[in-house]
Structure 1
Amino acid sequence: MQSYSDKFAFQVTVSPSEVSYSYSIKAALHLGSETPLVDAKCGPSGLCNQSAAATSPSFCSCVHQGFSAAVSPPDWNMDDTSRGCRRNVPLDCGGSRSSSTDWFAALPGVKLPDTLNSSLDMGITLDQCRARCLANCSCVAYAAADIQGSGDGSGCLMWPENLIDLQYLGGWQTLYIRLAKSESGKRKERSLLEWRKRLQIILGIAEGVKHLHEGEGSAGNVIHRDLKPANVLLDGG
């Protein structure tokens, strides 16, 4: 994944009453007219990501697979991304940590969203921040307020609404996004399906090798000089 962290000068200001993040373009840097890194326009819950251009006509994507574009795919591909993304499944909030079934997905390497309406507490740990966000029905994401020390950082930033101006820059900070429990199940199901497909491929290769040695008409003296994944031809079925 391409990183632009060396092309910006970052500054973090932390005080008992506020925390702010700022960045500026280093001198003599030309980003080109097509990059959205300086002025992201991916809308609420959208992520500006240069690497997305490899698989999508747009630099914008949703922050997680638990979100979908707020417009039709054709409109999104035509760069109509300002309306951002919306959740696939509503959050489950029972008003307490013990009753909510929601969970958090980590989104590393990002410049944190606009902090205009976020809340700050420098006196708690990141684990305590997670618990506080989970117990707050309006909290949709959290992050460490101070990452200058070791570990995952300290302090707590929480966002009560849609995430705006979220950008992937690489090697920056981790944002934890709140998702419904069912999204966790879908992720596990996708992983299981991917593993089953791999298993089918492995069994198919083994069956083919066995046929070379023991199949009808086989001389039984086949020498395998370069059997590796790169040399396995898949039929796409």
Structure 2
Amino acid sequence: RKIIMNQSHRRLVLPLLSVLLLTASAVVADSSLTLTRQGAIGGEQRLVSPGGVFQLGLFPVANGTKWFLGIWFTVSPPAVVWVANRGRPLSALSSGMVMLSGRGDLVLLVTARDNETVWSSNSSAAASAAVAQLHDNGNLVLASEAGAVVWQSFEHPTNTFISEMRTGRDLRTGAEWSLSSWRDADDPSAGDFRYDMDASGSPELHIWREGRKTYRTGPWNGVRFSGIPEMTTFEDMFEFRFTDTADEVSYGYRDRAGSPPSRVVLNESGVMQRKVWDRATGAWNTFWSGPRDQCDSYGLCGAFGVCNVVDAIVCSCVRGFRQRSPAEWRMRDASGGCARRTPLRCGGDDSDGFYAVRGVKLPETHGSSVDAGASLEECGRRCLSNCNCTAYAASDIRGGGAGTGCIQWFGELMDTRFVDGGQDLFVRLALSDLETTKTKKFAVVIAAVTTGVALLALSIGLLIWRRIRRGQEGQSPLRFQRPPCLKTS
């Protein structure tokens, strides 16, 4: 019997067929939940997580001319979250085999070249590894017979981190969990961009390109990263986790119960993207990306400059500073930054003061000092008593108001920008510049009041004139009559 489908039917049926085909391919291909020393996987075989959320196997790029061992979401095979042999691809699907070596490492062999090892987990405790298992959170784990973790893929991320992963540093061992981009969309080898945690000062995440910083998130303020206020709009879907202890500095997240799968990717163009799986459309929706505009380009306005994307001329100097090179600024190159108008006196409580720059992503915190236990008032006093302190701000805004804790900056302030919902930054100025600022503000207030009074007087005068005019128009007009004729007898 012939079945006819209209366009709306196709839109409903085709996505369902796609899901069924994906499921069927996973069932048809040989798969297992664990890999032991007695087993191996190769070709189209897969290692599958217990709930079927993730799969590990060989996947192709470059029209099938290169093959890599990787982990991907079962619902979206193109969404590869981890790659093993990034620098040494296989030339054919049939040539690769994954197994546990005699010393307990997970290895990828090229069978066509006498079982040559092209990738190995290289765990220092590999001898005790007895089983490899892919967990439902996407973590590939080598474990001993007693269940102790010997090696895990979460400790060796590539270009993606997912729920329950972390990016940061182990301060005891020196281990680093950072991302590196793919070379391009069809080449998983390490690209030009790296995403890591700077723990010197108030910790924040940076993107680097070949040793040059291109973007920073701003420091963690107890709720979110200072430069990403929109993080709070995701709180119903993700639980953000920030750790800052003597042993570890790291950031990660966890999908809340009932939330769809998500991933954070450093793409080949150096952009971080938070993507969430839309079950209804079968596609990944981008919830956030950074850098998101020109003001997120690191150091665009130079030292003591502030970037404002809503202004036609995006860069300006902090109050009390002037352009170092007006000629360069006229050519729209503000990278040289700004210089003080008046040197700091640093002579005690009555020599310098602070100007509040409202609603900003806090400046780069590399080399800053942090005291989470200090009040904001105490932070200001400490800064004023230190001749090298140039600014301060709250390190924690969870309590609302002006915040608590203390970040102090020493030297130049770099990469400051205005953001909706940003924080207050208190910049140290000479009192003369502060008085000039107060005088200007007072003049503005006086001008505004004077203008208001003048407009009010003008309005009242106009109203009185209108009423007089209407009164005159309401009177009867004057009529001239001829005198009565005199009768003669």
> Normalising by the residue count of structure 1, what TM-score does the alignment of the two structures yield?
0.71
2:378 alignment counterpart: 128
Question: C-alpha deviations, 1:21-80, integer Å up to 9, x for none?
Answer: 999543435779962314342111111221222xx2xx2222x221111111x5213221
Matches of 2:392 and 2:367 in 1, distance apart? 12
Question: C-alpha deviations, 1:57-104, integer Å up to 9, x for none?
Answer: xx2222x221111111x521322111111111111211x4x3x42111
1:159 alignment partner, one of 405, 409, 413: 409
The one-letter amino acid paired with 2:274 is: K
Q: Do the aligned residues in 2 keep the contact of 1:214 with 1:220 (CA within 8 Å)? A: no
SS state of the match for residue 141, structure 1? strand
Q: Do the aligned residues in 1 keep the contact of 2:360 with 2:425 (CA within 8 Å)? A: yes
State whether structure 2 residue 338 is matched by structure 1 residue 85.
yes
Matches of 2:308 and 2:395 in 1, distance apart? 23
State whether structure 2 residue 315 is matched by structure 1 residue 60.
yes
State whether structure 2 residue 280 is matched by structure 1 residue 26.
no
Where in structure 2 are the equivalents of 1:193-232 lying within 5 Å?
Answer: 193-209=443-459, 211-212=461-462, 219=469, 221=471
2:62 alignment counterpart: none
1:48 alignment counterpart: 307
The one-letter amino acid paired with 2:421 is: G
SS state of the match for residue 142, structure 1? strand
The one-letter amino acid paired with 1:112 is: L
Q: Do the aligned residues in 1 keep the contact of 2:390 with 2:410 (CA within 8 Å)? A: yes
RMSD over aligned CA atoms reads 3.7
Q: Higher relative contact order at CA 8 Å, sep ≥6: structure 1 or structure 2?
A: 1
Decide whether aligned partners of structure 1 residues 21 and 145 sit closer, same or farther in structure 2, where only a CA change above 3 A counts: farther
1:119 Cα deviation from its structure 2 partner: 1.3
Matches of 1:20 and 1:44 in 2, distance apart? 28
1:196 Cα deviation from its structure 2 partner: 3.1
Matches of 1:148 and 1:14 in 2, distance apart? 16
The one-letter amino acid paired with 1:52 is: D
Q: Do the aligned residues in 1 keep the contact of 2:357 with 2:426 (CA within 8 Å)? A: yes
Decide whether aligned partners of structure 1 residues 39 and 88 sit closer, same or farther in structure 2, where only a CA change above 3 A counts: same
Matches of 1:20 and 1:103 in 2, distance apart? 35
The one-letter amino acid paired with 1:6 is: E
Matches of 1:104 and 1:139 in 2, distance apart? 11
Q: Do the aligned residues in 2 keep the contact of 1:124 with 1:154 (CA within 8 Å)? A: yes
- Give runs of ≥4 in structure 1 deviating > 6 Å: 7-11, 17-23, 30-34
Mean alpha-carbon deviation: is it higher for 153-162 or for 142-151? 142-151
Q: Do the aligned residues in 2 keep the contact of 1:104 with 1:178 (CA within 8 Å)? A: yes
Matches of 1:102 and 1:18 in 2, distance apart? 38
Q: Which has the higher strand share?
A: 2
**Is there any run of 5+ residues in structure 1 with no aligned partner, and where?**
223-237
1:156 Cα deviation from its structure 2 partner: 1.5
Matches of 1:171 and 1:82 in 2, distance apart? 25
**Is there any run of 5+ residues in structure 2 with no aligned partner, and where?**
1-226, 235-239, 253-263, 265-271, 276-285, 473-489
Question: C-alpha deviations, 1:195-215, integer Å up to 9, x for none?
Answer: 332344344335545654667
State whether structure 2 residue 69 is matched by structure 1 residue 69.
no
1:173 Cα deviation from its structure 2 partner: 2.3
> Normalising by the residue count of structure 2, what TM-score does the alignment of the two structures yield?
0.37
Question: C-alpha deviations, 1:110-144, integer Å up to 9, x for none?
Answer: 22212221112223211111100000010000112
1:101 alignment counterpart: 351
Decide whether aligned partners of structure 1 residues 203 and 127 sit closer, same or farther in structure 2, where only a CA change above 3 A counts: closer
Q: Do the aligned residues in 1 keep the contact of 2:301 with 2:336 (CA within 8 Å)? A: yes
Decide whether aligned partners of structure 1 residues 190 and 155 sit closer, same or farther in structure 2, where only a CA change above 3 A counts: same
The one-letter amino acid paired with 1:70 is: R
SS state of the match for residue 374, structure 2? strand
Matches of 1:110 and 1:206 in 2, distance apart? 37
1:173 alignment partner, one of 423, 430, 441: 423
Mean alpha-carbon deviation: is it higher for 5-14 or for 114-123? 5-14
1:15 alignment counterpart: 245
Q: Do the aligned residues in 2 keep the contact of 1:67 with 1:86 (CA within 8 Å)? A: yes
SS state of the match for residue 52, structure 1? coil
Matches of 1:36 and 1:186 in 2, distance apart? 28
Q: Do the aligned residues in 1 keep the contact of 2:274 with 2:289 (CA within 8 Å)? A: no
SS state of the match for residue 219, structure 1? helix
SS state of the match for residue 51, structure 1? coil
Mean alpha-carbon deviation: is it higher for 200-209 or for 38-47? 200-209
Matches of 2:366 and 2:443 in 1, distance apart? 41
Decide whether aligned partners of structure 1 residues 110 and 191 sit closer, same or farther in structure 2, where only a CA change above 3 A counts: closer
SS state of the match for residue 356, structure 2? strand
Matches of 1:221 and 1:198 in 2, distance apart? 35
Equivalent pairs, count: 211
The one-letter amino acid paired with 1:46 is: G
SS state of the match for residue 26, structure 1? strand
Matches of 1:17 and 1:161 in 2, distance apart? 28
1:144 alignment counterpart: 394
1:146 Cα deviation from its structure 2 partner: 2.3
2:435 alignment counterpart: 185
